[in-house]
Amino acid sequence: MMKSVLIANRGEIACRVIRTARRMGIRTVAVYSDADADALHVRMADEAVHIGPAPTRESYLVGDKIIAAAKQTGAEAIHPGYGFLSENAQFAQAVMDAGLIWVGPLPKSITAMGLKDAAKKLMDDAGVPVTPGYMGGNQEPDHLKLEADKIGYPVLIKAVAGGGGKGMRLVEQADEFLDALASCKREAAASFGNDHVLIEKYILSPRHIEVQVFGDSHGNVVHLFERDCSLQRRHQKVVEEAPAPGMDEATRAELCAAAVRAAKAVDYQGAGTIEFIADGSEGLRADRIWFMEMNTRLQVEHPVTEEITGVDLVEWQLRVASGEPLPKRQEELSINGWAMEVRLYAEDPTKGFLPSIGRLDVFDYPDHLVRVDTGVEEGAEISPHYDPMIAKLIVHAATREEAIADLRYALDAGECGPLITNAGFLYRVLGDEQFAAGTVDTGLIGRKLEALTTRPEPSVEGLQLAAAELIGGGQGPWASTSGIRLNAPSKRQMRLADQFGRDFNVELGEPSDGPALRQIVLNEGGERLILKPWRAIGGADGGVSSGSILAPMPGRVIAVEVAAGDNVTKGQKLLTLEAMKMEHTLTAPFDGVVQELNCAAGDQVQVEALLVKIDAE
């Protein structure tokens, strides 16, 4: 068994690997950028090495710096986590050439599965069913459109080197294809250094089902059953669960056997995931499930598999990398109960899921009920340089119904702020009737996006409790008396406002015994509202839309779609901002005329910079 390991990653996954390594008595080494000097993973590790400035291309993506840090600290092995260099075959080979242990699959396996077009042909040859599509080398836009026309719309354009939802576009009509292709290629080139794409038939009732596989250097390969990751937004997973709802034993056996064949076809070692797309229009059937791609690393959602099998997948990774055989045979693995995971992000669903950066002053979830995998703690800064995930919340229960109830309770009872998070959105998603019934597909969130992202008004009971605390002993200055009637008591009312510019009239009950407060936090349904007496803040803004389009975060303008003097309509695309490794489209809030345009393609802009000013018609 190795004695020391360097984790070539940051945040939640770095902390996750450190916890298991520490339990196994393995010394850990962290690496960090300027932005992560005070990060939790740095403080948790036995030793830490600075590797450069905040941008990933100057720190976490520089393989030479990471290998040098391993040699400097005497680390025997490098664990890549997920993302960054985890599926980079050249880096894996460089680690091995340096005489270090690579905690991952062989470079040849990464290469075989790294390009989606080549991987599909390999799987087809191995007898693993694949989806219809075009995987050829001709990348001319007109030729790709011709192939898409032949396949029939809707189609998916996918970067052959893509992953994590990046470099992927759904095209529903022929006249949308070329614009989507250009955007996809641009994002793929920026994210992966490779703009080649493939085209797939888009399944109309698609479910995303994946199988966890594990191989060792002794020729053994097992599966650890399936996960369902169908609930997605823009091809990024929102809820992950195991096992898959509606999966019968016969279909499971065929699916998992295909996954094992896929892993054996590339001499797979370590943790990997075979991803399938299923047509769920007639339930789950083996003849309607096709290979999509393989992730040659540990997945973000691996905890749900750990919870139903009782296996620590990171421990298995470290043991297999050290040359040990798999700790369990296939017949020793079984499914126990139901597990479910959501990803808590610092982002605002009501504003197109734009990241919310800043200090995390409060972070408290009921850890007796929910497993919290995180790379931050109270007082941490959510940086604009990296993915804004705060934590993964995972529950394990006897049944799916109990798992949903426990996870909703955790989102309701937990508190995270003052950053805006997606907790309320997750709470509403888990409460959706279709999701509760298990009749989900990858388009569910998209179809219900407006309802799921609309912030509900707080309950009457919640507002009354907040008002009672704000008044405090009936002596606060914010209560008013109105509605006087003969032979009846007067009504006492209070007007409250929240941080989003909404105001509420509340009929008062009994005040609290404590002192009057200037503000109070109400946590309800995953939403965190800061309530104040309306008079105390001079009234609310009424939520009137502003025609000032401000940069929601630091970033680079990559496309401008309008000019000064143009007439625009509500929802029309104004410009595209690249920030936090994603493209963000800014749109017109109402019909009007562009009075000011203060940016051009290629400009670097700071947060809250005025980009466009629109006057209403």
The Cα-based distances of 381 to 170, 371, 385 in angstroms read 34, 22, 11
Q: Which residue has the tokens 């749109």?
A: 587
State which amino acid sits at residue 494.
Answer: M
SS3 of 170-199: the string is EECCHHHHHHHHHHHHHHHHHHHCCCCEEE
- Of 409, 415, 378, 410, nearest to 393 by C-alpha is 410
DSSP-derived 3-state class of residue 504: strand
- Of 346, 365, 439, 363, nearest to 400 by C-alpha is 439
The Cα-based distances of 602 to 543, 574, 576 in angstroms read 32, 15, 11
DSSP-assigned letter for residue 589 = S
Q: Which residue has the tokens 């339930």?
A: 283
Check 252, 297, 319, 371 and give the catalytic one.
297
Which residues are CB-contacts of 251 (< 8 A; sequence separation ≥ 6)? 284, 285, 286, 289
Asked if 319 is an active-site residue, the reply is no
User: Which residues does residue 582 pair with via DSSP β-bridges, in sequence order?
Assistant: 579
- 420 contacts 453 by C-beta, under 8 angstroms: no
Q: Record the tokens describing residue 306, joined without a space.
A: 């750990």
Which residues are CB-contacts of 68 (< 8 A; sequence separation ≥ 6)? none
Q: Are strands 491-497 and 480-482 parallel, antiparallel or unpaired?
A: antiparallel
- For the annotated catalytic residues, the residue numbers are 297
